[in-house]
A and B are shown apart, each in its own frame.
Chain A
């Protein structure tokens, strides 16, 4: 090979940790004691040592990593596709066959992390060799590449042909076994780096990361960056932490509470629309369904946030608050949400509207905020911005959460809702499962009138 290892192979390797892991795997596979069973493979009259079969590889993978056959086959196939294993019999497809096809481990010289990116000159020499060895033996795509390269580097074409001839001559001096092996190694290398059409290339990467190296150097080396980091770290040291046991117990509680509500874990009634093609589940749980399901009503008791997030739940809560003459709290909270998540241009008008309706002395729907928060808010109103009502909003939110919400859950209103809630029956299994139900389409949320699109709490897409 004319070219040496790629100069920025090292840099790229850092971006592809899976290559080093594959290499470690392949090296341990070749361990004389713990590795894959090696045998000598007889090909016609030559004997190639250190060959393995697909089955050997799979068995070793299954045993070493405690995985299933399917996964072992998949992993083995990936190793072959990345060129770490090659079949000894004329490799033109890189796949892991489970018959008696012998495989060998690729020499580290040809590893993707060593010799990458593949040099055009090397490819030209390889194709030239192939062309000389068997006239017209190039595949279509190889012929195309060959012509392309010939055009591109026509000025050094003599060098290419000369190198090719020399390499072929040197190969003839070797033993037949070595010659065969080296040819297979090289062929595999080029199958990986110049895959035939229709075969996905394993070399494909997304857009380059860390490409703005100049920017990155600046980012990491400036005093500013470290100053910010030190500040962040100092703050982090000062924050209050909770014991792991408390946090982890919370996950257990959360998951067990939500388990029955998780369609993937516990299924859903009447049935999962994706499985049965029946979208009744969505109709019954539509955002504005008249009668909510039992699971849905139960969910309102899990947390205040979830009650508010559900339009039906929020509506019922509003009813409850009206009976307690504190509905203005929820309305105020909603108005603040609109401010926080609304357009920048609407901020001054919204702030003013909220002030007039909820905060001004003698306002129609005056909300009861503690004097300190009220003072701070009134001062902030002089320069309205989207977060000016955050303190007041939080105060009212906490008030509702600690006071009204628990009462709501204990109220007759809620108990009645639970009692009236629907528990849909499970869909009976279809007698003729191969007869597909027609899949109903639903109107896109984008078709609804413009007023619906203003709601911050999500669309009304009815299924």
Chain B
């Protein structure tokens, strides 16, 4: 309707200022209201102001990103593989499956080591969470979660509890008990509450706090005893898929990776994002700190693993090969940080020389995608879990976790 040919049809009280005036229809967020002329004019400029702010912020963000890349590039005087030319190449590399843990009936999604270097906890698609002594391959505990797709599980530092969660949007802590009369599920504590699936969880330095990452785009720090939210971390633009705590002296930061292709480093105390890196071309499935705490590696659906240095504030290495086209689901370093183990969705595990950037070895052992991979706390072995299930005899399915050394 053109202003000049405006005809007064309605006369009544304005929806904004409530004065008795000639009214015109106005649409605000697809809702029709009736405003008087002056209010309608104000609203028009208001709306413009809001849009301007959004657009200008967006463009400011883009230009700042460009400037940041320039600044980062200024101090980049050498590439990692150049520096690593002096380093001796690694010799023949032999790692074999030393243990096969059979017992899950469906895809293994996540696993974690206990600090005693031999026990592990693993979770699967059918809701089962199992604690194993992987040295003897005995199962010690088993819990069935009330949800499927338990995508996150963690062992408490004391070895007395486990945490797990998935499609139930929660993280629950189960104290481990050997009492035959006690039902583990009875003592379960619901700690974290998110609005979408739980993708990762980790205890901090003690059994009392848990850090979680969720499909709702946030990470959060919780007090286990009370379930209280201690700190939340907002900044990812999409699902957060992974996190890892920094092995630093002050123990105050962690890194998270998400579907927005960003890896972000957070200050646990203030909840602020300290650093952000956006060089991957697809979802980041896994992040893990380099043992010194000065860098971290990430594995992504774009079939590459990358190393980001925190002091140089940039990506310093890309681990990729043309023949590797499936995404990396899980990465971890060996104890000295010289080797990077990465499990891929093409059922293989590739071992990378972190310094030289070349692939040292490829391990075949799984018959479906490798979903989780962790090096043991003392670095003597690593465990990989996958989606494979092999039908051996009728109705008998087993899924394997494998320990390699």
Q: What residues of chain A have their CB less than 8 Å away from a CB belonging to chain B? A: 15-18, 21-22, 25, 61, 64-65, 67-68, 70-71, 74-75, 78, 197-198, 200, 204, 206-207, 209-212, 215-216, 219-221, 223, 225-230, 232-237, 239, 241-252, 254-259, 261-265, 268, 272-275, 279, 281-282, 285, 304-305, 337, 340-345, 386-387, 390, 394, 397, 401, 439-442, 444-448, 452-459, 461-463
Contacts and interface: CB of A to CB of B under 8 A. Distances in A.
Contact of B336 (A259, A439, A458): A259
A318 to B, nearest CB: 18
B13 to A, nearest CB: 31
A216 B115 contact: no
Contacts of A228: 234-235, 273
Nearest to B96: A275
Contacts of A17: 281-282, 301-303, 327
Interface string B196-225: 110000001111110000011100000111
15 contacts: A17-B327, A18-B346, A206-B151, A226-B54, A230-B61, A236-B68, A251-B83, A252-B84, A254-B292, A264-B334, A264-B379, A265-B338, A342-B208, A461-B114, A463-B116
Given A230-B61, A236-B275, A261 B336 contact: yes
Interface of B: 50, 53-54, 57-58, 60-61, 64-65, 67-68, 71-72, 75-80, 83-84, 86-87, 90, 95, 98-99, 109, 114-119, 133, 135-136, 138, 140, 149, 151, 157-161, 167, 175-178, 195-197, 204-209, 215-217, 223-226, 228, 230, 234-235, 237-239, 241, 247-251, 259, 269, 272-276, 281-283, 290-292, 294-295, 301-303, 309, 311-314, 316, 321-323, 325-327, 334-339, 345-348, 354-355, 362, 364, 367-368, 375, 378-382, 387-389, 391, 403, 405
Given A251-B290, A441-B136, A74 B346 contact: yes
Contact of B291 (A64, A243, A254): A254
Contacts of A462: 116
B206 A341 contact: yes
Given A65-B322, A251-B354, A282-B118, A343 B226 contact: yes
A455 B347 CA distance: 39
Given A233-B64, A255-B354, A461-B119, A244 B403 contact: no
A239 B68 CA distance: 10
B205 A209 contact: no
A272 B405 contact: yes
Nearest to B98: A274
Contacts of A344: 208, 223, 225-226, 228, 230
A215 to B, nearest CB: 7
A370 B138 CA distance: 54
A57 to B, nearest CB: 13
Contact of B338 (A71, A209, A255): A255
B249 A305 contact: yes
Contacts of A15: 283, 301
A225 B80 CA distance: 35
Contact of A341 (B78, B133, B209, B375): B209
A249 B87 CA distance: 11
A397 B249 CA distance: 9
Given A207-B151, A242-B75, A341-B208, A200 B368 contact: yes
A441 B118 CA distance: 10
A7 B338 CA distance: 46
B78 A262 contact: no
Contact of A459 (B160, B282, B345): B160
A221 B95 CA distance: 48
A210 B259 contact: yes
B339 A264 contact: yes
Contact of A282 (B117, B176, B313): B117
Contacts of B224: 343
Given A211-B196, A241-B311, A446-B176, A265 B334 contact: yes
